[in-house]
Amino acid sequence: MPVPMCQTNTGYNRGMTNPLIYDLHCHTTCSDGSLSPKELVNRAAEQGVDVLAITDHDTTNAYEQLGPLDQQPIKIIPGIEFSTQWKNINVHIVGLNIQLKSKALQEGVAFQHQARQQRAVLIAQKLHQLGFQGALAGAAKIAHNNNVGRPHFAQHLVNIGAVSNIKQAFKKYLGPGKAGDIKQLWADLPQVIQWIRMAGGTPVLAHPTKYKLTRTKLKRLLDDFIDAGGQGMEVVSGKQLSSATQDLASLCREKNLLGSCGSDFHQPDQQWAELGQYSKYPADCPAVWESW
Confidence of residue 18 (pLDDT cuts 50, 70, 90): low
What pLDDT does 179 receive?
A: 85
User: What's the one-letter identity of residue 120?
Assistant: A
Q: What is the pLDDT of residue 271?
A: 87
Radius of gyration from C-alpha coordinates of the chain: 18
Average pLDDT, whole number, for the chain? Answer: 91
> For the residues of 184-197, what is the DSSP string, one character each?
TTSPPHHHHHHHHH
Record the pTM: 0.86
Evaluated on CA atoms 291, 186, 137, 160, the torsion sign reads: negative
* pLDDT of the residue at 142: 84
Sheet holding 75-76, edge to edge: 22-23, 51-52, 75-76
CA separation (Å) from 89 to 37, 84, 122, 177, 184?
Answer: 30, 8, 18, 10, 10
Supply the pLDDT for residue 176: 84
Q: How far apart are CA 95 and CA 191, in angstroms?
A: 13
Question: What end-to-end distance do the CA atoms of the chain give, in Å?
Answer: 9
Tally helices (H) and strands (E) across the chain. Answer: 9, 8
pLDDT band at 71 (very low <50, low <70, confident <90, very high): very high
Q: Which pLDDT value is given to residue 4?
A: 44
pLDDT at 8 over 70: no
pLDDT confidence of residue 19: 82
- Tell which residue, 283, 286, 290, 292, has the closest CA to residue 6: 283
∠ at Cα 115 (126, 171), nearest 5°? 40
Domains of the chain, first to last: 22-99+202-291 (3.20.20.140)
pLDDT for position 146: 65
